[in-house]
Amino acid sequence: MDMIGVLDLQGDVVEHIDHLERLGVAGIKVKEPADFTHLTGLIIPGGESTCLFRLLNIFGIREVILREFQRGLKLWGTCAGAILLAGKIIGETPCLGLIDIEIQKNAFGSQLDSFTTEASVPRVASQPIPLTFIRAPKITRAGSDVDVLLRQDDYIAAAESLDVLVTVFHPELTPSLAFHRHFALKCGLKPSMDEESSMIDPTWDSKSWTRYTRL
């Protein structure tokens, strides 16, 4: 069975799984090399990028991601996950370097400078999508083989190559399933919701993920 994994080292793991399952897509936690069996895609959620870099090495995951990527695994990094996937990090050494973007960490300031907004992303949805930025980075440059999905003011907020998707915001913290549907399609899966239905899930709220704590 093809599934999408969510890297379970830090960040919004169950929130991503909740969004995937609302689309009828199987999502599982990934924490060790054996968990990569049957994965068609992997989401690297937000967190603290330096800490995540260390944990990838401690758990022996970094080399597995690089190996599975060569075998066709699709990747999506949100916020810190986008930093880990970037080919260039301003002032730091790249971690995975699997998409030709340049990224600036903590570009908006402190946690107090987090914000919500909405924007049109035509490649992902036909209507504006709610966005949540939490201590977000900025993508400052994208290579010629990278498609810019969303440009905001002086920075890029979402981009993708053939095999990698990056967003500097957190789609898993909104009622929109649009980006998760987009990634599932990128992975060759067939979500149960069409584009219009995935725009906003009216049954979602900020505590929906807590149902996983009872499992």
Please state the pTM of the whole predicted model: 0.94
Mean pLDDT of the chain: 92
pLDDT, tens only, 87-117? 999 999 999 999 999 999 987 765 655 789 9
Catalytic (active site) residue 187: no
Q: What is the pLDDT of residue 113?
A: 58
User: With b meaning 16 or more CB within 10 Å and e meaning fewer, what string describes 13-30?
Assistant: bbbbbbbbebbebbbbeb
Catalytic (active site) residue 79: yes
Query: Taking a C-beta distance cutoff of 8 angstroms, is the pair 106, 178 a contact?
Result: no
Q: Which of 95, 160, 172, 180 is catalytic?
A: 172
Q: Which of 15, 19, 95, 170 is catalytic?
A: 170
**Tally of structural domains, the chain:** 1
Q: What CA–CA distance (Å, rounded) separates 41 from 159? A: 17
Q: How many whole angstroms from its chain centre is CA 114?
A: 18
State whether the Cα torsion 167-172-174-176 is positive or negative.
positive
Q: What is the pLDDT of residue 207?
A: 80
Q: Which of 15, 79, 95, 182 is catalytic?
A: 79
CATH of the domain at 208: 3.40.50.880
pLDDT, tens only, 115-164? 899 999 999 999 999 999 988 899 999 999 999 999 998 999 999 999 99
- Which range of residues forms the domain containing residue 107? 3-214
Distances (CA, A) of 89 to 11, 101, 175: 20, 8, 30
pLDDT, tens only, 12-63? 899 999 999 999 999 999 999 999 998 999 999 988 888 999 999 998 999 9
